[in-house]
Structure 1
Amino acid sequence: MSYVHIFCPSRSGVFLVFEYAEHDLATLVDSCYAAHGRSPFRESETKRLSLQLMSAVNYLHSRHILHRDLKLSNLLYNHRGELKVADFGLARSVPSGSRRRRKTSTLEGSDDESFGQCKALTHKVVSLWYRPPELMLGGLSYDVGVDNWGVGCIISELLIGRPLIRGKTEIDQISKMFALLGPPSKSLWPELKEMPLVKSGAVKIPVRSDNDSASDFLETFKELSMEGLSLLGGLLTYDPSKRTTSSSGLKSAYFGEVPFPANSSLMPTFPTKHETRSTREKSRGSN
């Protein structure tokens, strides 16, 4: 979001006036799914929104900022087809001195440079449906992966018109995550055994057999191309050190195949619907 005015009526506070955006994506998606059982955006339009989202997140990460609460209700949409990332209430700036080389599961198979893990941060960030496994399992050291998992959840939701993993509690969210993606294993995520809730025995990880697969995930996105599945699978990788970054996601071959990303000038517009934030968050079970 770009700010338009800054004013200080008194010493008690500073007020920022931002550019106007007619919608938040949560309201648009929820309304369309309730009425038609689908997303309000076609795949080409979702690709355009995904590129805008990953560009924004990549910029934040290049400036050493973690958003830590990426979700549809924090993404605004205007009549020009532009997506805007909002609500930085949980954002955290990380010193640039903590940069290190980090191997990620980029689609091109190359290493990507991002800042290192942030030590001793609270795991009570990121709304439940968009919270990555390292936070669900009590991790206090994390990095850009927390945002990139959220990007994967958001793109999924724009494609299918509903939240990908919709748990009622933290334990239910973990259970649904394992059911959708298959349980994690030490070979897929070597640090799994060191996660606080796993180490304490509070969360039991199902034994992953050779027959375990993300069959529910594949069924959910059965109409998506292999490149699309590769992008989502990379963003929703259990091991945060191997998770696709927004930087590498922008280079995904998914965006170079039919249907191509829609031109911003041809993105759909919608009637303005006024709804209070508290009402919207309550309907989405935000916590």
Structure 2
Amino acid sequence: MTAQGYELAVDVRGLRKRYGDLTALDGIDLGIRRGEVFGLLGPNGAGKSTTVEILQGNRDRDAGEVSVLGSDPAAATRAWRSRVGIVWQDESAPAELTVRETVRHFARYYPRPRDPEEVIGLVGLEAKADSRIKALSGGQRRRLDVALGVIGGPDLLLLDEPTTGFDPAARRRFWSLIRTLADEGTTIVLTTHYLEEAEALVHRLAVVARGRIVAEGEPGALRERYGTEATVAWTEPDGSPRALRTGTPARAVSELARRFGGEMPGLTVTRPTLEDVYLRLTGQSQEDAR
């Protein structure tokens, strides 16, 4: 490992994994700082979930070096596992137990758990605390999964598509929880298909495509680097709409102002979003990644 690895919660070099003829991970390098919220973005099959499984110690790797909280997950001890929380895409707790019974039960697995009542409140299930799990909605069950992921007070929290099935209000509440955990020093690795969620939460992110990292950095820096063109739109005097894609939108607006002699009807300047950049990088737009 590099010397820098001692300052990292997650240090990955040359990570590779194959399933038969399918290459899931083709030389992944990652460095995730302690206390950071880090996003893994990519289309289905890109290798995100496999990466998370290896970081958690639930899947073997074919090659590469991996250090998570200073240890190799492949040789993880029980003490190490107590420091790592995880929320899988398809996790589900026993249907006959109540929310409170389930959270209290899982708390007993950890040496220093959070208070179960506090955690139930953090995920917004106070009103359902005495309801059986089988009576919960899909979104409420997902919130319970998040509660079970954080009940141990983990140093590292791995979240694999955690807000699938959440309504908008529940998603915003979850975002508040993630910010609270990050403020407390928890390192968080988040995979998500919601680009708005990534932009709202992560300090840095990596875009994964075909088992490789195709871009990494802060969301704003990625927009600046890979989404350089803005769209300037306006309405001509005859009422016809016009639009121009340009890397120098301020110059385009100045030229329009001179031509119009002042106010420009319907003027808008739209800069590339993180979603635009993501689609370009993963080859899902009409433009090639740059």
Q: TM-score, normalised by structure 2?
A: 0.26
Which of these two proteins has the greater Rg computed from alpha carbons? 2
Higher normalized contact order (CA 8 Å, seq sep 6+, divided by chain length):
1
Task: Kindly indicate which of the two structures has a greater share of residues assigned to strand.
Answer: 2
Q: TM-score, normalised by structure 1?
A: 0.26
